Amino acid sequence: MSDARIPEDIPMAAADVRLDQASRRRERAAISLLVILVLALLGITPVANHALAHSGILLPAYATAVLMCDVVTAVLLFSLFSVHAWPPLHILAMGYLFAGLTMAPWTLSFPEIAAELGFSAPGLQSTAWFGALRRLAFPAFVLAYAIMKRSADTADHRDPSRLRLIWTCTAAAVLAAASATWLIFTNADSLPRFMVDERHVAALWQYVPMASVLLCLAAMGWLWSGKRHRLDIWVMVALATWLVEIILLAYVSGGTRFTVGWWAGRLCGLASSSVVLVALLADTAALHARLARALTAERRAREARVSSLEALSASVAHEVNQPVASMITNANAGLRWLERNPPELDETRAALQRIVHDGDRIGRIIRGIRAVFDRGENRRHAIDPNRLVEDCMAEWRRDAHRAGISVELQLDPIAPKVWANPVQFQQVVTNLISNAIQAMQIEHQGPKTLRVSTDRDAAGDLRIVVQDSGPGVPAEVGDRVFEPFYTTKQGGMGMGLMFCRAVVEAHGGRLSVSDVTPRGARFEFTIPAQDLPEADERGRS
């Protein structure tokens, strides 16, 4: 992402981890955390000056934890900066990196730690100077971040040299920390006195926490008064925790080391170093979860689209296959009539007329299938179901006769007319009749009977039943015959009955299948009888 501003219409942008607008919920969470810190401060105050003997051994562990938190936070902030080059981020990252790097020499400057490692301490004042440097530097970097953020929020940053800037900032922070370490270690005796002895501070030290408090308050005020991002909320929490640390170290414990108040302040310092890190890690994990869910949803949507395309193509192939086969049969018959001597022109003409009829039927089928997937209502008309069933049966009567199947039509003269798409309606009846004939061609034992009936059901709706005496539908199969690509026929596509159910349900009806005793299958579907538009009725009367 080259634009430094956060694209609000791209929720999965990498920068969205940290730089979207702060929500009220996060502000409430931040305030709750601050309230807990204040209560902890009040609770520790009565015992703050109680000395904890031999607790200095914990200093290396504490310093290591703070160092790791600060450095990892800096790495994450630099990573975000590399994504979209928002300049304030690299300033904040430098602050965390510099503060973290000063922890190592600060720890080594304690006489007891230096003695444990086998070298002499650099001097009494070095520890306090490292503490002062850390206390003043971090809020100063945050204040610089807050000031730069005001202009960066409205600027467009397209600097291609982000990686170079990151390495430059990293080198600058390391060089500054190394220079400060060298300066303090080599000039410890000539530096102004911050410590009276190893446990008590001098009067000059009081200016350090005061300056640090002022810097923290200025940075917090600047952040609060401007446009706040989620990152700003947690940076302010880190500063507030930093303030609690200063109050505990400088005022509650009186600057005396290794007391309850002093160690409580150090724990607040560790918490201050961890706040932004935890927030960054939590939001990064949440972003990965959102990304995983989005990828899963996209994959499912893609699979659904592919399945829909497969279903559509298979449905077209299934419905067109029958009239195409009929056209081929009639074309071959016409060729044979022409090869006779003399040619049978009347029979040839009849075969060609059937080919034309099948071609028209293919066109109607394709238009009907398209209407199903478009869910269009504009091609529906009033349909006489008895006439439609007779037309469908006329197309299959010859095939039924050749297969030795007797056909029974039981058409109720008062069967209600329905408002439906005639092409789709005809294709449903044709599919059911075709399936029945093919089922009875598989089994050759017993009489073969195809019964098609129309009537009005108990609710007054149109009911059409297609019943055969074939092998029937096994109980374990049931409604699976309506699933896409499920078929019991050799070479079948498993799309015909799915198409039939889709059409019937699109018309507000229901298609079901049941077994017939002693043998056979019964397909029954209903279409709601509705008040037909008067214009359509007059046009067909």
Residue found by looking up tokens 């409604």 in the block:
479
User: Residue 111 burial by CB count (10 A; 0-12/13-18/19+): exposed, middle or buried?
Assistant: middle
- Residue 293: what pLDDT? 81
pLDDT tens readout for residues 446-455: 788 899 999 9
Give the closest residue to 527 by CA, choosing from 440, 435, 454, 446: 454
**What pTM value is reported for the model?**
0.57
The answer to whether 59 and 95 have CB atoms below 8 angstroms apart is no
Q: How far apart are CA 247 and CA 261, in angstroms?
A: 9
Over its C-alpha atoms, the chain yields an Rg (Å, rounded) of: 42
The neighbouring-strand residues paired with 468 are 450
Residue found by looking up tokens 């990892």 in the block:
72
The answer to whether 94 and 172 have CB atoms below 8 angstroms apart is yes
pLDDT tens readout for residues 499-513: 888 888 888 889 988
Alpha helices in 45-161 (DSSP H): 59-84, 87-101, 103-108, 111-117, 124-152
- Residue 259: what pLDDT? 85
pLDDT tens-digit profile, the chain (541 residues): 333 333 333 233 334 444 455 566 777 777 888 788 888 878 888 887 787 877 778 888 999 999 999 999 999 999 988 887 788 999 999 999 999 999 999 988 887 777 777 776 677 788 889 989 999 999 999 999 999 987 765 445 555 578 888 999 999 999 999 999 999 888 877 888 888 776 677 888 889 999 999 999 999 999 988 777 888 889 999 999 999 999 888 888 876 777 888 888 889 989 999 999 998 998 888 888 888 887 877 777 676 566 656 666 766 676 677 778 888 888 888 888 888 888 888 888 888 888 888 888 777 777 666 665 555 445 678 889 999 999 888 888 888 888 888 999 999 988 888 988 888 888 889 889 988 888 887 755 678 889 999 999 888 899 999 999 888 877 777 777 777 666 666 555 556 788 888 888 888 889 988 888 878 889 999 998 875 554 444 444 3
∠ CA 246-249-254 to the nearest 5 degrees? 125
- Residue 350: what pLDDT? 85
Name the token pair of 19: 């730089």
- Residue 314: what pLDDT? 66
* Contacts (Cβ under 8 Å, ≥6 apart) of 340: none
